[in-house]
Structure 1
Amino acid sequence: MKTVACVVLPGFAPFEFGLACEAFGLDRSDDGIPNFDFRIVTPEPGIVPSNLGFSLNVEDDLSFADEADLVVITPIPRDAWVTVDERVTDVVRRAVARGAWLLTVCSGSFVVAAAGVLNGRRATTHWRYADTMASMYPEIDVDPNVLYVQDGRIITSAGTAAGLDACLHLLRIELGAEMANTIARRMVVPPQRDGGQAQFIQAPLPVSTSLSLAPVTHWALENLRLELSVDQLAARAHMSPRTFARRFKADFGTTPAAWLARQRILHAQRLLERTELGLDAVAYECGFGSAAVLRQNFTRTLGTTPTAYRARFACAPEAPAA
């Protein structure tokens, strides 16, 4: 992936637009990250108003989007959901037809839906708009409970910061875990939130739960090679398994078992990129037990084998650790 076109339309949301600029538009070559040819495009070049009372001067029309490796669709206002600019939906269809990546943030998914390329696919949008999308487009399997969904080479994401999670997910696919972690560290954000995490958590900032669970999760990350169980983690947190599971879900938006499984995969990615350990050794360090179990879980999660992943993303020994 070398070229990125970010589509903005009248009434665009500045924060979500900024996410795409931050993820794909900055020069990070001093960190060893390859730069993208990133351009902002719109159907009618010139002044494009935002939804917050200021405007953006966009110089490029949509022609660049027809050759970009990634097309990012930023949110559009509610009154534009029914009458999406046909020039944009045509660009979306052509992008899908030629196998380009397509990524939407929040209500940008309505643009892709209007193009018809989500029919028969799973997708998401902001949880407040999910029912509307499902009603407008019954052919789409709309999931309101996740941060982002990847179906083929189309990635749809929920509101606001979930768009950044989707961008980092794509960067991890294209650049590998190590470079994605470096980018996340520059952004001062967590390197990976699973797409399957809950969009809407009733108590996102509990008074004391995070402080009580932080030592447990840190210990778990340091001991992934062990056969960790919920009962064991609960005991370290001085809670009953039921209370621990409930508080963990409130803090992390996922179950302890799902969180552990994802951390094992992330650790395996790092080891495959940065070490020459054999698959059995990698499996041991990550708590999978054997290369066969590692291969099964790795392939199911990432859609590629550990060997193929290493061949693509192995880092030079002198590469900086993230």
Structure 2
Amino acid sequence: MPRLFSAYVIVDWSAAAKPTTGADSIWIGVLKRDVRFRLAFESYNPATRAEAETRLTAILDDLRKRGERALLGFDFPLGFPRGFASALSLPGEEPWRATWDQLNKMVKDKADNTNNRFGVGSEINRRITGGPFPFWGCPPKDALTTLQPKRTRAHGPDDLPEFRHADLAAKGAASIWKLYYNGSVGGQAILGIPFVRRLKLARGEGFKAWPFETGFKPLTEAELDGVEVVAAEVYPSLLKVQPAAGEVKDLAQVRATAEHFARLDEQNKLGGLFGPPKDTAADVVLDAEREEGWILGAGA
């Protein structure tokens, strides 16, 4: 059985508001074949999201020229909790795509990393509840009537869920509603989804967002015929990673995650990970495919 992928590209994203490198910045890890056809790892640490987009585009263009299919992993959610698109009255039959389009309209992310992620969270709160909920978390200077530094209340039965099904399956994943502070992923998702959308638009049918466009099911070589890139959400904290002496933890995590998926692919076990964990309810599968997405390997 051949591998499903010949390259594994893992992106550790950042919502930083100014150019930054080192810890808590963007890291791109690439595990691909060298001239001797052995898997070799290389990494990049762009200071801004704009530089990261340029770099990642070049990486994917190079892999396309070489005829190599890539697994492209992002460490932020590609979808929001079920009911989000409906709560915003977004049009269309595909809630995930409507959400991507809406964020693309709202997000302003400049070349120097200045961005309006708190403004976007605040405006979505205004449209959904009229108050500082469900998004929360920002520096006090960025507080607004519809976005507060601290969480103002818990999620009730009539609210959008605090967590996606995948967050619960991953055990320990943060809620997308948290926009700031350690471990938050909300800001990364708001700024990251329009970025993934641009990558996809540039590549057309050769770029598939899992599980939205592939289905939440095991993937085979036949199903990936003609596909150059499969984009998936990854959660490096699912793996126990020990950085080398002096190595930035983010770099260690993208390397270990790329190596982990390459190893599973070598053992013909990676394709199965694209399907739901055993005994997953049908409504959970549908929520993942239509709106929430899933974390590759969560619950497996």
Common fold: TM-score over 0.5: no
**Structure richer in helix, relative to its length:** 1
Structure number with greater CO (CA < 8 Å, separation at least 6) is: 2
TM-score with structure 2 length normalisation?
A: 0.29
Q: Which has more radius of gyration?
A: 1
